[in-house]
Amino acid sequence: MFKSGVSQGRWEWKKGTNQQSGEDQAVSPERLLFLENKKKRKNQIRFTQIFLLIFILLLWEVTARLGIIDSFIMSQPTRILKTFANLSNNDLMLHLGVTCYETLVGFLIGACGGTCIAIALWWSDFLSKVFEPFLVVLNSLPKIALGPVIIIWVGAGTNAIIVMALAISMIVTVLEMLNGFVNTDSEKLKMVKTFGANRLQTFTTVVFPSNIHTLFNSLKINIGLSLVGVIAGEFLVSKAGLGYLIVYGGQVFKLDLVMASVIILSIVAALMYQAVVILERWITRLISPSR
Amino acid sequence: MQDLLRVEDLVAKYQADNGEITALEDISFTVQEGEFISIVGPSGCGKSTLLSMIAGLTKPTAGNIVIEGEPLVPGKVHTSIGYMLQRDNLLEWRTIFRNVTLGLEIQHTMTSENIEYVTNLLKTYGLYEFKDKYPSQLSGGMRQRAALIRTLAIRPKILLLDEAFSALDYQTRLAVTEDVYRILKQENKTALMVTHDIPESISMADRVIVLSRRPAHIQGIHTISFDMPDRTPLNCREHPKFQEYFNTIWKELDVHV
Ligand SMILES: Nc1ncnc2c1ncn2[C@@H]1O[C@H](COP(=O)(O)OP(=O)(O)OP(=O)(O)O)[C@@H](O)[C@H]1O
Ligand SMILES: [Mg+2]
């Protein structure tokens, strides 16, 4: 029914990667060779990745030193490093904290609120039919366009930034979760109905547990989108946070600061995503240790 | 003796956007306690519809369903009916024990007496050691057995089986029908089974109801009796009368390719 566009497994579900490790079996020479080749290949890929990174950094540094590129505009790895070294001078940690706080609050409210709304819409077929066109329009609207309105309504501060993050991440959660709920295996639904399950029991015994994957997929999307919302909000509000630092650095031509902030931002984004992945693994193992 | 189940002039019509589909037309039959009834009929004739009406999941357009003299309230699931579907539908995130007690949990009847009953079923039918395992760790036949125990746990008087074995491969299927037959006879259950497989329908049944093409009415009801002291679905297939029954039912089904 609803198409959120993000639901088509962009984050491919990594299932059964360590399932068929036949440890109990005797290992044949062919298997050993296969495993060795596999490991070799993995190492090759990792090595090339590291090499590429170092190469680019070196190229950047050398061209900057030789004056081929203007380090004032393009910055330069050593200068970025220096910026990191003077973290306390730039209040980088403070801004990092602000951004993390806003992202986490936006993420939590967005995930919980979005899921609750999805449950309500699943519960009442009528409601979901009524809201369908509105949700579709809201989903395709670029939420950043609402920025000025949000600032006027809730004031230019942390709240506006969190609302911005919510606006961006919540609708996707609603659509994603609802899509999962609606597509629950109808045979399983029929099975619990034959025991006379009511709507609440149907939800708690079948619909929700079979959508744990959906939930985590939408959390993974959500954490990224919350960060997008927070940075966009900080651009607009311009008081604190990594987004503010980037805008400020750009305005006063401190490109080292901009680059350092961007690097920190990408590390934060990766860590947050990884945290969701770890949480997912932990919860999945808790619910059903066999998988 | 009072009939355990009486189906009277049952009519089922589906309203779709592109018109009305009459699935069942004037279906009437009775079932006695302890009987095993097979229902065969062409694809799409309304067999599943019939079962889901008896289970109270679908409201009949007309007609009555009477269980132990009490008319069924449509839309209200009758607790004396157990329904087994084609797939086992075990919930992957629950242990076998929590799967087989799902019905009790939903009906708020997790009494120590019922739990003991389920535990006994698990022990008798060889699943007790697996009670803390997850469905993915069981073979197809064991899963089907677990699904049967889940259905039996609520102690239904009548069991409805809708192509309950068709998801299994042929050999497992023979073994599982053997199992299920033994379990049902041992627990003295009444059963209505829908199947596409004529030999299977004969091998398990006391009576076979043959439905016509849609709109389905009853084409014939055949009493199956092999005078064998210890009849099982497997050994009755060797009985000379088996082929006779098969031919009659095959002709009556009137299958056109
Ligand atoms: N919810 C529904 N809405 C409209 N038509 C339906 C619905 N359910 C079933 N039908 C129609 O009613 C007829 C009987 O369906 P039913 O599932 O009872 O047949 P069946 O005998 O069990 O078929 P099969 O042998 O394929 O399992 C079919 O033609 C089907 O298209
Ligand atoms: Mg059917």
pLDDT tens-digit series, residues A188-209 = 999 999 998 999 999 999 999 9
A137 at B interface, C-beta within 8 A: no
- Inter-chain CB proximity A187 and B102 less than 8 Å: no
**Mutational pocket test of ligand 1: of B25, B40, B48, the residue with most ligand atoms within 8 Å of the beta carbon:** B48
What per-residue confidence (pLDDT) applies to A32? 92
Residue A15: pLDDT band with limits 50, 70, 90? very low
Ligand closest in space to the Cα of B47: 1
The tens digit of pLDDT for each residue in B3-26 reads 889 999 999 999 888 888 898 998
What per-residue confidence (pLDDT) applies to A17? 40
Greatest mean pLDDT among A33-47, A76-90, A242-256 lies in: A33-47
Contacts of A190 in chain B (CB under 8 A): 57, 85
Residue B231 token pair: 């009849």
Q: Calculate mean pLDDT across residues B201-215.
A: 91
Residue A16: pLDDT band with limits 50, 70, 90? very low
In the predicted structure, residue B191 carries a pLDDT above the cut 50: yes
In the predicted structure, residue A88 carries a pLDDT above the cut 80: no
* Residue among A158, A290, A10 nearest B91 (CA): A290
* Residue among A173, A183, A273, A185 nearest A215 (CA): A173
Residue B36: phi and psi, rounded to 5, are -115, 115
Q: Calculate mean pLDDT across residues A46-68.
A: 93
Integer Cα distance of A162 and A50 in angstroms = 36
B171 at A interface, C-beta within 8 A: no
What per-residue confidence (pLDDT) applies to B72? 83
Residue A270: pLDDT band with limits 50, 70, 90? very high
Q: What element of type H or E holds A215?
A: helix A212-237
DSSP string, B155-216: --SEEEEESTTTTS-HHHHHHHHHHHHHHHHHTT-EEEEE-S-HHHHHHH-SEEEEE-SSSB
Closest-CA distance, B50 to chain A, in angstroms, reads: 14
DSSP string, B115-172: HHHHHHHHHHTT-GGGTTS-GGGS-HHHHHHHHHHHHHHT--SEEEEESTTTTS-HHH
Q: Calculate mean pLDDT across residues B221-235.
A: 87
CA B60 vs. chain centroid, Å, equals 19
Considering only CA atoms, which residue is closest to atom 5 of ligand 1? B14
* Residue among A3, A11, A1, A2 nearest A214 (CA): A11
Residue A239 token pair: 């008081």
- Where are the domains positioned within chain A? 1-69, 73-287
Closest-CA distance, B98 to chain A, in angstroms, reads: 11
B51 Cα–ligand 1 center, Å: 11
Residue A189 token pair: 């639904």
B108 at A interface, C-beta within 8 A: no
Contacts of B86 in chain A (CB under 8 A): 187
Region A73-287: CATH code? 1.10.3720.10
What per-residue confidence (pLDDT) applies to B135? 92
DSSP state of B75: T
Predicted model pTM: 0.83
Residue A247: pLDDT band with limits 50, 70, 90? very high
Considering only CA atoms, which residue is closest to atom 17 of ligand 1? B48
Q: State the pairing for strand pair B190-194/B19-31.
A: unpaired
What per-residue confidence (pLDDT) applies to A221? 92
Residue B144: pLDDT band with limits 50, 70, 90? confident
Tell me the CA distances in angstroms from B212 to A57, A86, B7, B40, B202, one per residue in order. 78, 86, 17, 9, 17
Integer Cα distance of B176 and B184 in angstroms = 12
A15 at B interface, C-beta within 8 A: no
DSSP state of A111: H
* Residue among A95, A126, A100, A108 nearest A240 (CA): A95
The tens digit of pLDDT for each residue in B96-130 reads 999 999 999 999 999 999 999 999 999 988 899 99
Listed in sequence order, the DSSP H helices in A66-157 are 71-74, 77-85, 87-90, 92-123, 125-140, 147-154
Percent of chain A with pLDDT over 70: 89
Name residue, tokens 């193992």.
A285
User: Mean pLDDT across chain B, nearest whole number?
Assistant: 89
Instruction: List, chain by chain if needed, residues with CB within 6 Å of any ligand 1 atom.
Output: B 14, 16, 21, 23, 41, 43-49, 214
Residues written for chain A: 291
- Inter-chain CB proximity B93 and A290 less than 8 Å: no
Tell me the CA distances in angstroms from B61 to B10, B19, B78, B81, one per residue in order. 8, 15, 18, 21
The tens digit of pLDDT for each residue in A120-139 reads 999 999 999 999 999 999 99
In the predicted structure, residue B76 carries a pLDDT above the cut 80: no
Q: Are B41 and B163 in contact (CB under 8 A)?
A: no
DSSP state of A28: P
What per-residue confidence (pLDDT) applies to B201? 93
What per-residue confidence (pLDDT) applies to B256? 60
Greatest mean pLDDT among A113-122, B59-68, B124-133 lies in: A113-122
Size of interface A-B (CB pairs under 8 A): 59
What per-residue confidence (pLDDT) applies to A42? 95
Integer Cα distance of B171 and B154 in angstroms = 29
